[in-house]
Amino acid sequence: MGGSRGREKLMTCESCHRQVPRGKAVEFEKRSVFSTDLRTADNIFTVSSNTVYYCISCAKHRKIFEKKKQIAQRRGERRSE
């Protein structure tokens, strides 16, 4: 029947490991950059992203809401140009 009925999946906060419903969890994309730091043509450079979830209190403490706001503003500036 309906796919969104009933109990939401619980997500684990990355910081305090609290169980939070997915609707209340704050989703944040962490980016990791790996490089061999060689100044030659053999330099290997990769960027990987990982989605992590935070509870509201940890997201406020880590100022993730402000980071998401800045990202949205940057995306808005690119579209307007």
pLDDT tens-digit map of 33-58: 888 877 777 888 889 999 999 999 99
Q: Please give the model's pTM, rounded to 2 decimal places.
A: 0.66
Confirm if 49 and 32 have CB atoms less than 8 A apart. yes
Confirm if 30 and 49 have CB atoms less than 8 A apart. yes
Domain residues of the chain, as ranges?
10-80
What is the rounded distance in angstroms from the CA atom of residue 27 to the CA atom of residue 64? 9
H helix or E strand, kind and range, residue 12: strand 10-12
Higher pLDDT, 55 or 4: 55
